[in-house]
């Protein structure tokens, strides 16, 4: 079966890797290259450029995780003009199999591979074996997916959960959401639980408190919150963690994720200690009549750098063995 290619393709970068085997349940990745999507007219052109870097190695199959919908055989990127047929790509490059999947579905598919060495505990609990899990990732946006256990297989289940209406757990949070609705029209979870969401949240808090908002970037807010130099930034990051925990608990209820909630994405590692000390766990577990259901569900931050690559590799292997 090996070697084969996996790719993680977003609106800006197209990342490729060669899978050469497995080690301790994870996939061995070599020849990792990052290409700029705008430099190539098509996915096929980018893939051809990557294969040229392999010095004659002939991959047997490929899985591409793409930021966009995958409908049957057809793929159309959301933030790139690339569109292609999976069958046509397989034929052009001589792959015995070519599989495409949503990029956050690949993240979800990688979750069952993650062991304790790649996890930071945000909320204590005991995951039930071989039961549903869910993952979400605050970054440029808010990706959400589940991974469902069915007939001995792990099935990723992507969704658009980042765009659900965000819910308050206090009068203060209700006032913040009201302020955000005035500016954004629709206050989704992504409105606050994302990198840009930190700025939206900061601006809404300033409006509620009647203070002037500085022109901060997300990194400014986290830096000033962590060093305590700006009280409003501290409030912003605390409120962010509150929304984060509440959303995580909601996801546990929605997916029946007794196997655990997993957080990924680029912004959380910067302030993981802050999250642990915040009311994340309390908000996660505060679910009224269903509090007892979620109280023992754990939540983890995934620290593995190549989660999506591993998920794409696992999904391809599963397809090849069926």
Q: Same domain for 155 and 101?
A: no
Task: Report the number of distinct structural domains present in the chain.
Answer: 2
Sites in the chain below the pLDDT cut of 50: none
Residue 267 assigned ligand-binding role: no
CA distances from 90 to 121, 148, 285 (A): 41, 28, 47
Q: Same domain for 66 and 197?
A: no
What is the percent of the chain with per-residue pLDDT over 70, rounded to a whole number?
A: 100
Q: Same domain for 94 and 12?
A: yes
Q: Same domain for 172 and 89?
A: no
Alpha helices for 111-217 (secondary structure H):
171-184, 189-192, 195-209
Q: Same domain for 99 and 129?
A: no
In angstroms and rounded to an integer, the radius of gyration of the C-alpha atoms of the chain is 21
Residue 68 assigned ligand-binding role: no
- Number of C-alpha atoms within 13 angstroms, CB side, residue 95? 26
Q: Same domain for 144 and 274?
A: yes
CATH assignment at residue 40: 3.30.420.40
Residues 47, 59: Cα–Cα separation, whole Å:
12
Q: Residue 66 — φ and ψ, nearest 5°?
A: -125, 145
Residues 58, 67: Cα–Cα separation, whole Å:
26
Residue 10 assigned ligand-binding role: yes
Q: Same domain for 263 and 130?
A: yes
Residues 243, 173: Cα–Cα separation, whole Å:
9
Residue 9 assigned ligand-binding role: yes
Residue 177 assigned ligand-binding role: no
Predicted local confidence at residue 21, as pLDDT: 96
In degrees, rounded to 5, the angle at the alpha carbon of residue 279 between the alpha carbons of residues 274 and 282 is 145
In degrees to the nearest 10, what's the CA dihedral of 38, 43, 80, 307?
Answer: -100
Enumerate residues 6+ apart whose C-beta is below 8 A from 110: 304, 307, 308, 309, 310, 311, 312, 314
Predicted local confidence at residue 78, as pLDDT: 82
Q: What is the pLDDT of residues 125-152, one digit of tens each?
A: 999 999 999 999 999 899 999 999 999 9
Predicted local confidence at residue 218, as pLDDT: 97
Domain range for 84 is 4-109+306-321
CATH assignment at residue 171: 3.40.367.20
Q: Same domain for 40 and 133?
A: no
Q: Same domain for 130 and 76?
A: no
Predicted local confidence at residue 142, as pLDDT: 94
Q: Same domain for 310 and 299?
A: no
Q: Same domain for 103 and 158?
A: no
Enumerate residues 6+ apart whose C-beta is below 8 A from 180: 187, 191, 192, 200, 201, 204
Predicted local confidence at residue 79, as pLDDT: 83
Predicted local confidence at residue 24, as pLDDT: 87
Residue 225 assigned ligand-binding role: no
The pTM assigned to this predicted structure is 0.94
Q: Same domain for 277 and 312?
A: no
């Amino acid at each position: 079966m090996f070697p084969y290619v996996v790719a993680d393709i977003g609106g800006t970068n197209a990342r490729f890797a060669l899978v050469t085997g497995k080690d301790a349940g994870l996939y061995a990745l070599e020849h990792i290259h990052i290409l700029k999507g705008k430099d190539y007219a098509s996915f096929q052109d980018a893939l051809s450029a990557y294969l040229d870097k392999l010095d004659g190695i002939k991959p047997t199959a490929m899985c591409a995780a793409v930021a966009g919908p995958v409908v049957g055989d057809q793929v159309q990127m959301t933030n790139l003009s690339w569109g292609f047929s999976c069958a046509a790509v397989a034929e052009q490059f001589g792959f015995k199999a070519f599989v495409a999947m949503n990029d956050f579905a690949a993240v979800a598919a990688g979750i069952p591979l993650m062991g304790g060495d790649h996890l930071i505990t945000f909320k204590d609990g005991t995951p039930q074996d071989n039961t549903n899990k869910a993952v979400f990732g605050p970054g440029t946006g808010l990706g959400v997916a589940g991974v469902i256990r069915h007939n001995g297989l792990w099935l990723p289940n992507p969704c658009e959960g980042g765009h659900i209406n965000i819910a308050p757990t206090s009068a203060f949070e209700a006032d913040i959401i009201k302020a955000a609705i005035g500016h954004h029209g629709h206050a989704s979870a992504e409105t606050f639980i994302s990198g840009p969401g930190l700025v939206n949240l900061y601006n809404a808090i300033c409006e509620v408190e009647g203070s002037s908002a500085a022109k901060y970037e997300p990194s400014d807010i986290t830096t000033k919150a962590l060093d305590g130099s700006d009280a409003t930034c501290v409030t912003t990051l605390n409120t962010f963690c509150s929304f984060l925990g509440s959303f995580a608990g909601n996801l546990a209820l929605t997916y029946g994720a007794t196997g655990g909630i997993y957080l990924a994405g680029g912004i959380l590692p910067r302030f993981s200690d802050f999250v642990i000390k915040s009311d994340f766990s309390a908000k996660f577990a505060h679910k009224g009549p269903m509090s007892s259901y979620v109280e023992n569900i754990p939540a983890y931050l995934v620290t593995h750098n190549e989660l999506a690559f591993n998920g794409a590799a696992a999904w391809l292997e599963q397809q090849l063995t069926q």
